[in-house]
Structure 1
């Protein structure tokens, strides 16, 4: 039975939260940064102490964020005009004063309604569990380009996190999901935040057959392994990485010309196979830009244990051992050496052309990838339009790009061993370059076109390999380390 989080109920719940100060900012102000950070690490005691004498706000924090049992009169007072019986009937709280759903403030003073995780439940989650705000959903939100669009599709919305973010830049939002429970909780999330979102039920792209959108975002059930569905939020029922393949293959047909699609994806690393060859084989024919960014490669053994614990299954239990054994057997049978994870950005280009790039980005960085994805698309479009006349253009090196040199001792002092160009913002791109390239970039100050700089270097230092220089310039432009004077 799904909760009925009606518009009227959500309006009254919203009023109660605002009255109590149960917002993202209000919770941080109450707990203070150290206790709030500890809560994020799964250490609740400091938050419990900080909320002890905080009235209705303290009650809501302990109820929904800590999973404590609260006195029913205090719960009733904190929920304002939402009657306790009504809250119980809609699964918001249990009859004994515990949270029945995960209702928590998020980011831009939004609220998200989801199911309680394994820790707050005190055991394994059910098959139709609706995941709340997790690492994957936050990662996709940070990796999504935020430019004004008319229409946006959130494919597999879950509890509605991506649609919340989309509300900051999309005029009309459509959200789909296969799970009736996910749709019910997402509807509650949208009503609680006073957002108008079109909801549609069905598998994959079936609910939007024949429709196109300016932007599509998707956090699919990308967990790879045997073709089974233990939990709808992570398992597709497809074998291996076929869920990611399906979304990559079909997403372009639902994009308008110039439309952008972005998703989280996983792919198998199999013995004797290049991961880039694998993922690019998923792409449909036609005009399309595609950027595959690999953020991590997981060992199969670690991968299985992580996902078992995520669902609240003890890997040491009989159930955990049986599931782990079947999973690892499947990996062994299919020569799986690792599981890649990352982001995919697609743009439908029509007749304009096609650019496909696969890159490793496994080092740590702080900046969100979304602005970089938008910049990458812009740079690819510029290169497509001006690639044949590249030597005629002037370029500058941004102030955020530095040249690092590593030298080693020799008989005459020091000799350079490595020259590395490093962009200090965004994802921190790095390129190892040679001495002639370093000299070329030193001259890129926006005054002379590239061909003149190459000619000057040839006069000063002898013949240069122009065939090698131009591809490197293209790579640096794509990565925002060399900027054309437009």
Structure 2
């Protein structure tokens, strides 16, 4: 018999089988609640969900929603009928509290559809449905950050995967069917207990290892590394294990970037969430670039948002369910902002860091690091875009000025040409053109301001047509422009468009 960390794991296997029977699944909840009350559930509006459930007939699924989602007190005999022997296991493990004739769950068990599979995530109870202040050893369930990392991580087939700081095991679920081997680590034993419960009967063989940072895998390298580390930027203290590293400012993100590079196989990639300081002394791009090796790597650092010190501190104190008007919150706000002021922190940015280690024969190549803001709205998963970015940059690394001129290209399907005009204030009527843009309507929806020359040249690209150089020569002749000067500007513009996937080299197109 396979040894398990806690009785919760054995109960979890029984619970999952029962959940399938009663429809406590993503689709089952959507069907019984409907879109309006599903939205209320995700918005943390328990009274609205309870109002809807009160209007429905009693059922096993109705009871499950009250017990597991709302964490209402429910009658013991009803819960025992629903869960059988698993209830006693959970009570004995202090995960369900009995008070007279009623029982209440002290943990969260939520169904999620991840990587096309129905899964259930076990974690500590959050504060979305009940008044609750998370403790220092709190283990998160599925939140906005973990979902964003799921979307930003490739799911293509690979060999070995390391999930660093696995928490309740969410990122492992995203690699279902993708990896031959998965190792998930965490410094927090309670997190591994929940991860084991999440992963039991998931169909994803995973080795769970306890230890700090990369210590449990010292000397090993991986094809894919995933990490959502405790990256909160602040004083070197640990108030909550899931978010505080004990390192000063952005030291945790710096450590994970450096160590991930050292633990990648050639050709391997790392996909990280992180945060970094904006300071008066250097740009955030330069700060993050310093964490990466000088040679042998490609990195794409994407800042999704940046906030002021006051906003940042308020957000994370609110995350603890603290009343920002309370004396405790006031004292901590002052101390945190004092620390930022002494360190000359002007803001905090956060987002994704994707890293690729180059193959052995490219190990001496200068590292290609692009750090940029991506504040635009988009819906498509970022993981496939990151993989394609590495493919596009690999093509660019192989090119010279002459090879680019001799190549053919294709405008990505869905790229829009936008002519932006504003009301003509001088004339008092009509509109005046202000900006010409090329914009992707898929993926991260990159938008590039271009001039009429670049827009016209791009319009002439055809993967089965003329080489780039001939297109430039024809355009220069038609416009009466000196060819050599056009070449230089057009190549620079083309490279930028390739990096963001608005233009694709014909060499990379599927046959």
- TM-score normalised by length of structure 2: 0.91
- Shift of the 81–335 alpha-carbon distance from structure 1 to 2, 3 Å rule, reads same
In structure 2, how many angstroms separate the alpha carbons of the residues matched to 1:91 and 1:169? 35
Q: Note if 1:16 corresponds to 2:18.
A: yes
Q: Who is 2:331 aligned against?
A: 322
Aligned residue among 433, 447, 457 for 2:450: 433
Correspondence 1:15-414 to 2 at 5 A? 15-52=17-54, 53-82=57-86, 84-96=87-99, 97-107=103-113, 108-120=117-129, 122-349=131-358, 350-352=360-362, 353=365, 354-388=367-401, 389-407=403-421, 409=424
Say which SS state the counterpart of residue 105 (structure 2) adopts. Answer: coil
Structure 1 stretches of 4+ with a deviation exceeding 4 A read: 408-415
Measure how far apart 1:380 and its partner are: 0.6
- Shift of the 458–167 alpha-carbon distance from structure 1 to 2, 3 Å rule, reads same
- Shift of the 305–3 alpha-carbon distance from structure 1 to 2, 3 Å rule, reads farther
Measure how far apart 1:237 and its partner are: 0.1
Measure how far apart 1:317 and its partner are: 1.9
Measure how far apart 1:74 and its partner are: 1.2
Q: Is the 8 A contact 2:71 2:106 kept in 1?
A: no
- TM-score normalised by length of structure 1: 0.96
Which ranges in structure 1 are unaligned for 5 or more consecutive residues?
none
- Shift of the 245–17 alpha-carbon distance from structure 1 to 2, 3 Å rule, reads same
C-alpha distance after superposition, 1:198-227 (max 9, x if no partner): 011111101000111110000000100100
In structure 2, how many angstroms separate the alpha carbons of the residues matched to 1:38 and 1:382? 47
Moved more, 362-371 or 229-238: 362-371
In structure 1, how many angstroms separate the alpha carbons of the residues matched to 2:231 and 2:215? 18
Measure how far apart 1:63 and its partner are: 1.0
Measure how far apart 1:262 and its partner are: 0.6
In structure 2, how many angstroms separate the alpha carbons of the residues matched to 1:236 and 1:351? 36
Measure how far apart 1:171 and its partner are: 2.0
Q: Who is 1:453 aligned against?
A: 471
Aligned residues: CA RMSD: 1.9
Q: Is the 8 A contact 1:143 1:368 kept in 2?
A: yes
In structure 2, how many angstroms separate the alpha carbons of the residues matched to 1:433 and 1:281? 31
Measure how far apart 1:387 and its partner are: 4.1
Say which SS state the counterpart of residue 32 (structure 1) adopts. Answer: helix
Measure how far apart 1:150 and its partner are: 1.3
Say which SS state the counterpart of residue 445 (structure 1) adopts. Answer: coil
Q: How many residues align?
A: 484
- Shift of the 387–325 alpha-carbon distance from structure 1 to 2, 3 Å rule, reads same
Measure how far apart 1:19 and its partner are: 1.6
Which ranges in structure 2 are unaligned for 5 or more consecutive residues?
none
Q: Is the 8 A contact 2:472 2:486 kept in 1?
A: no
- Shift of the 416–316 alpha-carbon distance from structure 1 to 2, 3 Å rule, reads closer
C-alpha distance after superposition, 1:98-146 (max 9, x if no partner): 1121111012310000001134452321111001111110011111122
In structure 2, how many angstroms separate the alpha carbons of the residues matched to 1:19 and 1:413? 65
Aligned residue among 501, 504, 509 for 1:480: 501
